[in-house]
Amino acid sequence: MISIENVSKSFLAKGAEAFTALDDVSMRIRDREFFTLLGPSGCGKTTLLRIIAGFDFPSAGTVRIEGADSSALPPQKRPVNTVFQSYALFPHMTVAENVAFGLQMQKVVKSDRQARVAEALRLVRLESMASRLPGQLSGGQQQRVALARALAPRPKVLLLDEPLSALDLKLRREMQGELKRLQQETGITFILVTHDQEEALAMSDRIAVMSAGRVLQMGAPREIYDNPKSRFVADFIGESNVLPGATVGHGADIMVAVRPERIALSMLASGLPGKIRGTITSITYLGLDTLYEITLDNGERLRSRSRQSISGLDAGQAVILDWPSDAERHLAN
Ligand code: ADP
Ligand code: MG
């Protein structure tokens, strides 16, 4: 559906050196895919989305949409629509008028317009609110109006730039499910931008993890979680302990990553086997699981998570840590 080929983007600032926001980015996004650009603030996600939408143009490289070079096409000529971070509804227009707005711009005839507004409002479950003003809606409902407005022109690709970041946690979780359902029901290709790794893992068919203008890794959520290829990805997706190889019996030229939930603890005094010794520095009960912070004899710190709290363990106690060898990921140092 979308092919990004060696796209770079530099911004020129007066009296300063050019700043590279995207550095040789390539990816292919499939028809009907829920694809996510994930990375910390400033890594270039919005810049890439704007280039796909046509609000900005690459300094180098090509954007293809359905096979055709679209790098120089203006936004309205692309079968793409965007839901922005701030949903910016017109406050003096009703919900239905807000949703119809883009259709008027596109010169869709009135009878067709009404049918499409009704369809879009049904999709986001706001049929009963068509004649309200945005000020009479909750934040979550306003977000749905913004979604309906973007869906009404029936784009082939919907770009979503941190669309849930203004919502509180509970509503955000609920809207994640809604977005997923919308994507499946409409068959539209979704490209979501987020800095929230949980959101990306929960919703996406595939994720591109970005850092400093580059794509570090691309794959299905499970694949990225289970097989991070770099320290950045291991740290950014979920939680990882990253230890020097020599600390855990490997060469000094690698780092070893182990997820906290794969590390088992037992009291040193129990005599049970394990890979390495340490001392518990803190125990935090987190509801679903318990987090143990441990300082190794060489001063390295790591974390272990367990579903059951382990009886008899206390801060200050000497422990032995163990994990199966398939829990280790070896990263280049
Ligand atoms: P993200 O969406 O991942 O937070 P952005 O794509 O918005 O990141 O920005 C990436 C980098 O490019 C940032 O350092 C940002 O300051 C810079 N940038 C974005 N737009 C411009 C611009 N129009 N002019 C100069 N620098 C920009
Ligand atoms: Mg952004």
* Residue of minimum CA distance from atom 19 in ligand 1: 47
3-class secondary structure, 238: coil
44: Cβ contacts below 8 Å, ≥ 6 apart: 9, 21, 22, 25, 210, 212, 213
- CATH of the domain spanning 242-332: 2.40.50.140
Could you tell me which residues are beta bridge partners of residue 20? 10
15: Cβ contacts below 8 Å, ≥ 6 apart: none
Half-sphere exposure of 138 (CA within 13 A, CB side): 6
pLDDT digits (tens, 9 = 90+) for 224-274: 998 999 989 998 998 899 999 988 888 888 999 999 999 999 999 888 989
Give the domain ranges of the chain.
Answer: 2-235, 242-332
Kindly state if the Cβ of 57 falls inside 6 Å of ligand 1.
no
DSSP at 150: H
pLDDT band per the 50, 70, 90 thresholds, residue 309: confident
Higher pLDDT, 191 or 254: 191
Kindly state if the Cβ of 41 falls inside 6 Å of ligand 1.
yes
pLDDT at 17: 83
Neighbours of ion ligand 2 (CB under 5 A): 46
Kindly state if the Cβ of 49 falls inside 6 Å of ligand 1.
no
Within 10 Å of residue 315's Cβ, how many Cβ atoms?
A: 11
Q: Given phi > 0 = left and psi -120 to 50 = alpha, else beta, which region is 53?
A: alpha
- CATH of the domain spanning 2-235: 3.40.50.300
Question: What is the arithmetic mean of pLDDT over 5-26?
Answer: 91
Half-sphere exposure of 83 (CA within 13 A, CB side): 29
Question: What is the arithmetic mean of pLDDT over 170-178?
Answer: 87
Q: Ligand 2 mean position to 282 CA, how many Å?
A: 36
Question: What is the arithmetic mean of pLDDT over 35-61?
Answer: 96
**Cα distance between residue 98 and residue 77, in whole Å:** 21
pLDDT at 13: 76
Q: What is the pTM of this model?
A: 0.88
pLDDT band per the 50, 70, 90 thresholds, residue 322: very high
Q: Which two tokens stand for residue 56?
A: 């900005």
Question: What is the arithmetic mean of pLDDT over 134-151?
Answer: 91
* Residue of minimum CA distance from atom 20 in ligand 1: 47
Q: Which numbered atom of ligand 1 lies nearest the CA of 210?
A: 3
Kindly state if the Cβ of 90 falls inside 6 Å of ligand 1.
no
Higher pLDDT, 48 or 102: 48
pLDDT band per the 50, 70, 90 thresholds, residue 168: confident
Q: Ligand 2 mean position to 214 CA, how many Å?
A: 15
Which helix (H) or strand (E) segment holds residue 36: the answer is strand 34-38
pLDDT band per the 50, 70, 90 thresholds, residue 221: very high
Q: Ligand 1 mean position to 158 CA, how many Å?
A: 21
Q: Is pLDDT of 106 > 90?
A: no
Q: Is pLDDT of 170 > 90?
A: no
Within 10 Å of residue 280's Cβ, how many Cβ atoms?
A: 19
User: End-to-end distance of the chain based on CA atoms, in angstroms?
Assistant: 37
pLDDT at 307: 83
pLDDT digits (tens, 9 = 90+) for 112-127: 899 999 999 999 999 9
Kindly state if the Cβ of 45 falls inside 6 Å of ligand 1.
yes
The sheet with strand 157-161 has its strands ordered as 80-83, 157-161, 189-194, 34-38, 206-211, 214-219
Kindly state if the Cβ of 211 falls inside 6 Å of ligand 1.
no
Average pLDDT over all residues of the chain: 92
**CA quadruple 199, 202, 204, 207: dihedral, nearest 10:** 60
